[in-house]
Amino acid sequence: MEVSTVVIGNLSQKQTTRWEQNRTFAIKPTQQQFVQLSDTQILAAIGQGDERIFEQVFRKYYAGLCTYGRGILRDAEEAEEIVQNVFVTIWEKREILEITQSLQSYLYRAVHNHCLNRIKHQKVRDEHQQYAQHYQEVSYESVSEVVNKNELEQQLSKSIEKLPEQCRIIFKMSRFEELRYQEIADKMGLSVKTIENQIGKALKILRIELADYLPILLLSLGLQNF
């Protein structure tokens, strides 16, 4: 008796999977025969490598599973990819696969879980990308700030040393020893007015010397009147 064959050719390219590409199958059981099979019989046949039965299962559930996955992912191509992967996994693990629920429930549950995992992984990737981008920006800004502050400290020291002696001493006592004007006046034997004038003179000179670093100087040294 001659056995006819059929090639899977009426599915779109997106719908084809590794197990069906370039394969030929012995003539399929009729739809009535397939419907009469129980899930236990279907799974047993698939477990024994019956490609005809597997193809019937694929054709029966594929479209509905894609629609279900698309409703979760909002992406038709990803949904089809997941459904195909589910069928590929079933075929590849057919000899050891244990399904204790109905075949339909198993397929929909598998697609559901795969879709949730895809969403979870996408969320993790998005969060990682956001963190990496933020970290790069912060790192760049931090390095720039450190470089600028180091340059500022060096330039500030040089500029302070250029101040007239009395002006330099009074400025250091005020800004680095954090002495009040009255305390400086008492130590120096000068009037508070003289101290104020010397501080003003120092700030004027430093403002010119450190013009390029003025914003950082205001923030780092708290020289609001600089």
DSSP 5: E
Q: How far is CA 221 from the centre of its chain?
A: 38
pLDDT for the residue 157: 83
Q: How far is CA 4 from the centre of its chain?
A: 53
167, 201 Cβ separation under 8 angstroms: yes
pLDDT for the residue 216: 55
Q: Where in the chain is the domain with CATH 1.10.1740.10?
A: 5-125
CATH architecture of 162-226: Orthogonal Bundle (1.10)
pLDDT for the residue 129: 63
pLDDT for the residue 57: 92
16, 58 Cβ separation under 8 angstroms: no
Q: Where in the chain is the domain with CATH 1.10.10?
A: 162-226
pLDDT for the residue 100: 84
CATH 1.10.10.10 for domain 5-125, yes or no, is: no
Residues of the chain with pLDDT under 70: 1-35, 124-149, 212-226
Give the 3-state DSSP-derived string for 130-197, with helices as H, strands as E and coil as C.
Answer: HHHHHHHHHHHHHHHHHHHHHHHHHHHHHHHHCCCHHHHHHHHHHHCCCCCHHHHHHHHCCCHHHHHH
pLDDT for the residue 24: 36
Closest CA to 14 of 75, 94, 56: 75
Q: Tens digit of pLDDT for each residue in 55-114?
A: 999 999 999 999 999 998 888 999 999 999 999 999 999 988 888 888 999 999 999 999
pLDDT for the residue 130: 66
* Report field, pTM of the whole predicted structure over 0.75: no
206, 160 Cβ separation under 8 angstroms: yes
pLDDT for the residue 112: 92
